[in-house]
Structures are given as structure tokens and as C-alpha cells.
Amino acid sequence: MTVDTTIAGGTLVTPDRMFEASLAIDGEKIVAVGDEETLPEADERIDAEGKLVMPGMVDPHVHIDEVPENRGGTYEAETAAAALGGVTTIIDFAFQGGDRRIADESKDLLDGIEHKKTKGNDGYVDFSVHGVLFRETPETFEEIEPAIDAGVTSFKMFMSTYEVGVSNGFIGEAFEHIAAHDAVAALHTEDPSVCEALTARLKREGKGDPIHYPDSRPDYAEAIGAATALRLAEETGVKYYGVHTSCRKAAEVIESFSDGGERIRAETCVHYTALDRSVHERLGNFPLIAPPIRTQDDIDAMFEYIHNGTLSVVSTDHSVYHREYKEVENWWDSPFGAQSLQRSLPVFHTEAVVERDLSYPTLVRLMSANPAETFGMPQKGSLDPGTDADVILFDPEGTETIDASTNASNSEFTIYDGYEAVGTVEKTFVRGALVADDGELVADPGHGEFLERELPEWSA
């Protein structure tokens, strides 16, 4: 038998270990792992000497093209950023009735999923969506089962001041329905009225400089939100996933409800492990995101809670905004969100592995295997034969000073401007096809496919 490709001579990193081995790819699958001499003949041999061979990263928190007129990025550009950054699978969001700000009242969640699937046709990497529930009507609960049948097995709600925010009562009832289907509930947790009151006060005081922005959404507002959501999760028995944990106080609350991952799980994002609020002094509104970027103690806390297992996934919360929306005088006129898919692996590698001695298998668990398992994608996040050949070659000693000039994203700035990253992505394969090679895209847009996800089994 002859296979398409072997990746030979490198060091494989799996969720459990690192070892010298070679890997064979045929069609869309990994077909063998072992000493090169034991592998089948290949049409192409890729030399991975000195490189790490890892499963592609799986980012379960990505927003693409959520707002009208392509102002939220396009699938082609944002998944190009993903591919260049070694991210081979993303989970985006589908809203009831269409896009976030133009939901059609005559349409439902299934229409929103179809709408996003159409947009995703232009992508380079595989994608799924979380279903966003924001209409506080009993009919919403009837939209859960058809979404699961369509391969969407997780549902997100916002406890927030946003236009898609929902009440605690609705969240509790939705949790019951999601639990009855054994699906996953994902929550944005910041107490809305605390954030509203503090925002109003900062406006009254004229504190429009973005250095004040983090004070409008403090750590305790996030902890209050997490406590409320987790109490509701515990009462209903739902599988709960806390998104974008940013601070020590919220992580403490999550830990207090933790059960080893059988029903309670949570993520943090790369920026909460790498940046503190002083970034606003340099970059103004660009890093304005919610929850805000916080303090050095909160960065340290993210690693403490990664180490004890409370935080089991590291994502980006990639969101796309053009400069013009961010270059406004007062922070309250700026949208929240920033893109980072292209830089998430190099930056987290620098912070976690280079600076703090986190192991490579742990990095692979946090950014690839755990999100794949948490969200029902057994074919992803693995180098086992039989799984999808989503594979990256990573140079652990490559360096790059990050600046926006190499952004593939539609967004023209980066929150990591000037960051000295260690570790570069050299090649990205998505289902056996080489998509990005040495900083260039080498496949056509449209290679990415929609993934129908399973209902995940969570075991501790």
C-alpha cells in the first residue's frame, strides 16, 4: 500500500506524551504512527526534523461575520488567520433567526445555523457553531432538539447588557431543557446591572480614556455572574461550560462548584494569560473586550487554575472589528472584541511553555484535545490512526515580533502588537490537505467543512 504523505523525523505531541515518531496520512485520515521504517511508502515525505508534530488546534470560541455588511470579518479571511496560526477547527456562533444584530423574527435557530453554514463555505478550516438562545419565549426551547439533530450540540447564552442578553429565570429554564437533551450549555457570565451602574458612573465622571474601561466590568461582577450561573447549573444538572474566565475571583467560584469535569467545565482565553490592563495605555480601545483584560495577579490565577484543572480549555474569543470602530474618543463608543486566531498558539506557547514550563502535552490538551472532547468531536484533537489528519508542524524555537502588517484577518490591528512570540507554525494540514505552508496559504478557500457534532460524553 502507498499513502499520500508521511511526516517523518519529528517529535509527536499527543495529549499524553511526546515521542520521536513518524506519521502517515492517506486521504483525509491519519493511517499510521510509528518508526519511519514501519510506515507504508508515501508519495510525499515531509521532513519534520527538529519540529513538533501536533494535532491542529481546536478553538471553541470564535465569532465570524456576526454583524451586517461584512463588518465582522469574512470566513475566508478569518479562517485564513486560523490556518496560518495552526488552528484547524473552530466553533463559531449561530443566532436565532440570522445574524446577531439583524435577526429575522420569522426565522429560528435552525435558520441561523443554515445561514452560518452558507457563510462557512468560504473557509479554510473545519467549523461548527454553538446555537445562541436569546429569545425569551417558550418556543425557543422547541428549537433545541432540531439543532441537535443538525449537529449543534451546545447552546450559548449571554448574561449581559448586550442586546442578546437573557434573564436568570430564562437561563435556568433553558438549562433544564438543555440537560434533558444531554447537550452542553455555555454561558457568558458578567452581572449586567453591576456593569451598567459602573459604566454610567464612569460616563458621569467623564472617564472615557480606555485605561478606565476595566473598572466598568470588574472581576467581582464576573464572579457574581459565575456564581449565579453555576448555582442554576447545579440545580438543573446541565453540562455547564463557562466561557472566557478572566480573573481569580471568577475562577475561585468555578472551582467551588467543580466536580472534576463531569458536569462543570470552563475556559480562559489566551489574552487573559498574556496581557494586563496596562495594554490600554499603548493600544487604546483596540484591546477593549468583555470581560476586560485585568491584572498580573489575574494572569497568575489563570495558570494556577489551569494547573488544578478548573480551567481545561484555552480559546481566543476571536471577534473582528475594523480600526474605525475602535478609533473613537471614549471607550464606551467602541465595540467589545478583538481578533487573535493567527497568534493564539505562538502567544500561549510563549506564556505557558517558554515562560512557565507547562508541558507540550498539556498545551495540546488545553488547545486541542479538551475542546474536541468537550464539544463532541472525537475525530479532532488527536494524532491517533483513524482520526482526521488535522496536523501541524511547529518550530518551538522560531521567533516573531508580532505586528499587524501580516494579519490575514479583516481586522487591521492586533492586541499583541510588539509581542516577542517564541514558536512558529510551519505547516497546517486540514483533513490531509496542506492548507498553510511557511506563512502562506496554499489551498483554495472552501476546503473547510461544517462538522456535525455528537452529544459529548463528559467523564472526569
Rule CB under 5 A: which residues touch Zn ion? Answer: 317
**CB of 42 vs Zn ion, minimal distance in Å:** 40
DSSP-derived secondary structure letter, 450: B
Which has the closest alpha carbon to 319: 59, 66, 125, 102? 66
61 CA to centre of own chain: 3
Contact 48, 5 (CB under 8 A): no
Q: Which residue has the cell 419565549?
A: 137
**CB of 63 vs Zn ion, minimal distance in Å:** 6
Strands 391-401, 420-430: pairing is: antiparallel
**CB of 69 vs Zn ion, minimal distance in Å:** 20
**CB of 444 vs Zn ion, minimal distance in Å:** 29
Complex with Zn ion: residue 73 or 423, whichever CB lies closer: 73
- 3-state helix, strand, coil split of the chain in percent (to 5) is 35, 25, 40
Sign of the Cα pseudo-torsion (438, 350, 382, 146, in order): negative
For residue 171, give the 3-state DSSP assignment: helix
For residue 14, give the 3-state DSSP assignment: coil
Complex with Zn ion: residue 63 or 427, whichever CB lies closer: 63
Complex with Zn ion: residue 317 or 437, whichever CB lies closer: 317
Strands 313-315, 264-269: pairing is: parallel
Complex with Zn ion: residue 165 or 446, whichever CB lies closer: 165
d(CA 251, CA 333): 29
Left (φ > 0), alpha (ψ -120 to 50) or beta: where does 386 sit?
Answer: left
d(CA 312, CA 111): 32
Buried b / exposed e along 299-321 (16+ C-beta atoms within 10 A): bebbbebbeeebbbbbbbbbbbb
Complex with Zn ion: residue 99 or 317, whichever CB lies closer: 317
Complex with Zn ion: residue 317 or 400, whichever CB lies closer: 317
**CB of 338 vs Zn ion, minimal distance in Å:** 11
**CB of 454 vs Zn ion, minimal distance in Å:** 23
**CB of 198 vs Zn ion, minimal distance in Å:** 21
413 CA to centre of own chain: 19
**CB of 151 vs Zn ion, minimal distance in Å:** 21
DSSP-derived secondary structure letter, 341: T
Which has the closest alpha carbon to 412: 61, 65, 73? 73
Complex with Zn ion: residue 78 or 317, whichever CB lies closer: 317
Complex with Zn ion: residue 143 or 317, whichever CB lies closer: 317
Complex with Zn ion: residue 7 or 81, whichever CB lies closer: 81
Contact 330, 70 (CB under 8 A): no
d(CA 256, CA 254): 5
**CB of 318 vs Zn ion, minimal distance in Å:** 8
Complex with Zn ion: residue 7 or 289, whichever CB lies closer: 289
- Residue closest to Zn ion when measured from CB atoms: 317
d(CA 233, CA 229): 6
**CB of 268 vs Zn ion, minimal distance in Å:** 12
CA distances 454 to 60, 160, 217, 353, 395, Å, are 14, 29, 35, 32, 33
**CB of 357 vs Zn ion, minimal distance in Å:** 29
Complex with Zn ion: residue 91 or 393, whichever CB lies closer: 91
Q: Is the peptide bond before 335 cis (omega within 30 degrees of 0)?
A: no
